[in-house]
Amino acid sequence: MNTNTKILPLEFEYYEPENLDEALELLSRFKERARIIAGGTDLLVKMKRELLKPEVLISLSRISNLKYIDEGEGSLRIGAGTPLSEIENNPTVERSYSALFEAVRSMAAPAIRNMGTIGGNLANASPACDTAPPLLVYGSSLKIKSKGNERVVPLEEFFLGPGITVLSPEELIAEIQISQSEPPKGSAFLKLGRVSADIAKINVAVYLKREGKRCSCCRIAFGSVAPTPLRIYQAEKMAEGEIFEEQVIKKVALECQKQIKPIDDVRSSKDYRVWVSAILAEEALKAAWLRSEGSL
């Protein structure tokens, strides 16, 4: 049966470790048989539909040192177990990381944002995942841990395909690391869904840095247009060093449209995604530019 019933039709062992070391020990013991559960807003749906049948669930809910937002000099570190609603309500995120703020605020409904975590959103590796485009344009990295080991992976190298990441069965995401250069800079996120609070038909994030009237750095990332969230390097290069006026913005937006490779699926058609991508890119570029001059 492959329907989303209210029943979990599986038996599994359930662990609630009190600290990270215990969780890593359990992952190392059970390996492929186990799954981490953070908020459960993706995982439980898949278990109800019998798309995933873990024998062991390891909950992160009691591990308090995976839930934090630490601000540094031009940087932000977010514990992977931080609920989306805490990110949405963080004044630094709202003030200085507009694209991430807008992405989180666009997700689901408050109840889901109270349960769902940023680490779960990334580890779930949906091509439509809303936090990936902003984190990609900020050049973020993930601190990944396993028993006795730690590595830092650029987010650009994390996603391998729909639902597939570089994580081994013994690893978990511990922290999201974001750094930004000094102002003047601006970022923006836009998303189209069937209704508000829905998974994206398509989403886009832009990060820009300016020197006077010129754009000195441009980063653009889309979701729901390829098997993984996607940076559009060719379009970024067309913006860098240019005086950022209407004509340049349109050229960059049209390049985005050329580079994406969406598919038809239940949420949208390929043609609609291609058509609307240039409009979304243009609007996001304009919003990020206005923010970089402090006028939005």
Ligand X SMILES: Cc1cc2nc3c(=O)[nH]c(=O)nc-3n(C[C@H](O)[C@H](O)[C@H](O)COP(=O)(O)OP(=O)(O)OC[C@H]3O[C@@H](n4cnc5c(N)ncnc54)[C@H](O)[C@@H]3O)c2cc1C
Please give the residue ranges that form the binding site for ligand X (CB under 6 A): 35-43, 45, 80, 84, 107-108, 112, 115-117, 119-121, 123-124, 129-130, 167, 172-173, 198-199
Q: Which residue is nearest to ligand X (CB)?
A: 120
| Those residues with Cβ within 8 angstroms of residue 137's Cβ, 6 or more apart along the chain or in another chain | 99, 187, 205, 206, 207, 219, 220, 221, 231
User: Closer CB to ligand X, residue 119 or residue 262?
Assistant: 119
Looking at beta carbons only, is 84 or 249 nearer to ligand X?
84
Residue 132 or 218 having the CB closest to ligand X: 132
Distance of CA 184 to the CA centre of its chain: 24
* Residue 269 beta carbon to ligand X: minimum distance, rounded to whole angstroms: 20
Nearer to ligand X, 143 or 214 (CB): 143
Q: What is the 8-class DSSP label of residue 172?
A: E
Rounded to a whole number of angstroms, the minimum distance from the CB of residue 66 to ligand X is: 7
Closest approach of Cβ 286 to ligand X, in Å? 24
Contact present, 24 and 146 (Cβ < 8 Å): yes
Tokens matching residue 25:
């020990």
Least Cα distance to 275 among 197, 202, 226 occurs for 202
By C-beta, is 40 or 184 nearer to ligand X?
A: 40
Of the pair 189, 289, the CB lying nearest ligand X is at 189
CA distances from 1 to 12, 42, 48, 218, 287 (A): 18, 18, 9, 47, 46
Toward ligand X, which CB reaches closer, 66 or 76?
66
First-to-last alpha carbon distance for the chain, in angstroms, is: 50
DSSP string, 125-169: T-TT-SSHHHHHHTT-EEEEEETTEEEEEEGGGTEEETTEES--T
- For 261, phi then psi, to 5°, come to -135, 65
- Shortest CB 256 distance to ligand X, Å: 20
| Cβ–Cβ under 8 Å, residues 152 and 194 | no
C-beta of 40: minimal distance to ligand X in Å?
5
Beta bridge partners of 191: 203
Q: Which is nearer to ligand X, 115 or 253 (CB)?
A: 115
User: Is residue 38 within 8 Å of residue 172, measured between CB atoms?
Assistant: no
Token pair 């038809």 in the structure block, residue: 264
> Could you tell me if 108 and 197 are in contact, meaning their C-beta atoms sit under 8 angstroms apart?
yes
* Distance in Å, CB of 175 to ligand X, minimum: 9
Minimum distance from residue 191 beta carbon to ligand X (Å)? 8
CB of 39 to ligand X, least distance (A): 3
